Structure 1
Amino acid sequence: MSREFSQMDKQIFDKLAPEAGGSTMSKMGHSYPFILRPISHKIAQSAEDFRERLEKLDTTELDYLVELAMEEKEDIRSLEEEDVDSFMELIRNKLSPEREKELKAKLGFA
Structure 2
Amino acid sequence: MARILSERDVAILKKAAPECTGLVCAGSGGPYRSVLPPLANHYAANAEDFRIRLERLDDDDLHYLAGLILDGSESLGCVSPEYIEVFLSVVDIRLGRDVALSILEHYEGSGGCAP
Shift of 1:11: 0.8
Q: How big is the alpha-carbon RMSD for the aligned residues of Structure 1 and Structure 2? A: 1.7
In the superposition, the TM-score normalised over structure 2's length comes to 0.84
Instruction: Encode CA deviations 1:53-106: one digit per residue, 9 max, x unaligned.
Output: 001111000011111110111122331221100110111100111111222233
**Residues 69-88 of structure 1 aligned to structure 2 (within 5 Å):** 69-88=69-88
Answer whether contact 1:26 1:32 (CA < 8 A) is retained: yes
**Residues 1-110 of structure 1 aligned to structure 2 (within 5 Å):** 1-21=1-21, 23-27=22-26, 29-108=29-108
| Unaligned 5+ runs, structure 2 | 110-115
Answer whether contact 1:77 1:84 (CA < 8 A) is retained: no
Q: C-alpha separation between the residues in 1 aligned to 2:42 and 2:83?
A: 13
Give the counterpart letter for 1:84 in structure 2.
I
In the superposition, the TM-score normalised over structure 1's length comes to 0.87
Shift of 1:12: 0.4
Shift of 1:29: 4.2
2:78 alignment partner, SS class: coil
Distance 1:100 1:24, change over 3 A: same
Q: C-alpha separation between the residues in 1 aligned to 2:79 and 2:12?
A: 17
| Unaligned 5+ runs, structure 1 | none
2:5 alignment partner, SS class: coil
